[in-house]
Amino acid sequence: MTEHKFWYLKACASLEEGYQPPVTFVVVQKRHHTRLFAHNHNDRTVVDTSICHPREFDFYLCSHAGIQVCEMHSLPSYPRSPCIRKGWVARQFAKLIIFTGFMGFIIEQYINPIVRNSKHPLKGDLLYGIERVLKLSVPNLYVWLCMFYCFFHLWLNILAELLCFGDREFYKDWWNAKSVGDYWRMWNMPVHKWMVRHVYFHACAGIYQK
């Protein structure tokens, strides 16, 4: 979703309340050299020397039956896999069992003993409580990574393969994120795309209609 399409949605919502067509034709009028308004300016009068940005609402749009289909209002299409790779599914399922067992091993050998032997941090020694938390941090990190790998990489790929779903972008390289916002946008792509399409832009459209 580009920034310009976002401003097209903003303009559509501002021109007609509750307007959500399946097809939208966007016409941007060239008015950076001549406004072509005879009642305001004389012929060949230069008003603007640069192209007006769409966010300034200096254009016409929202034709109900258009020539071009705006990608923003069209339903998304996803690729399909030609067949189910049974051997690949079996290997991924074996990995899922192995990593699930490894995660259970970490919990039973490292996390549960620390939790059972811990005192109440607020009632006992503060340094002792900090020590317990630090000892739990490393195994918790490994458990979280195993859970992420098992669900987002193994289980979702197995499910997509069985359903012949070709789009496998379930997460991006969130480990290279430079900010917290980038991390939240990249670590869970199915939820992020759903929120953007069905919550964020509809909320923006409702705000701009007011």
Give the pLDDT score at 145. 93
Residue 39: which domain range? 3-75
Give the pLDDT score at 55. 45
Are the C-beta atoms of residues 84 and 164 closer than 8 Å to each other? Answer: yes
Give the pLDDT score at 188. 86
Say whether 195 sits in a helix, a strand or coil.
helix
Q: Mark whether 63 and 90 lie in a shared domain.
A: no
Q: Mark whether 83 and 145 lie in a shared domain.
A: yes
Q: Which of 7, 45, 39 is nearest to 24 (CA)?
A: 7
Low-confidence ranges of the chain (pLDDT < 70): 1-76, 119-124, 206-210
pTM of the model: 0.56
Amino acid at 125: D
Q: Count how many domains the chain has.
A: 3
Q: What are the backbone angles phi and psi of residue 26, rounded to the nearest 5°? A: -105, 120
Give the pLDDT score at 38. 45
Residue ending a domain, choose from 58, 75, 92: 75
Q: Mark whether 146 and 187 lie in a shared domain.
A: no
Q: Mark whether 152 and 208 lie in a shared domain.
A: no
Q: Mark whether 33 and 101 lie in a shared domain.
A: no
Q: Mark whether 115 and 149 lie in a shared domain.
A: yes
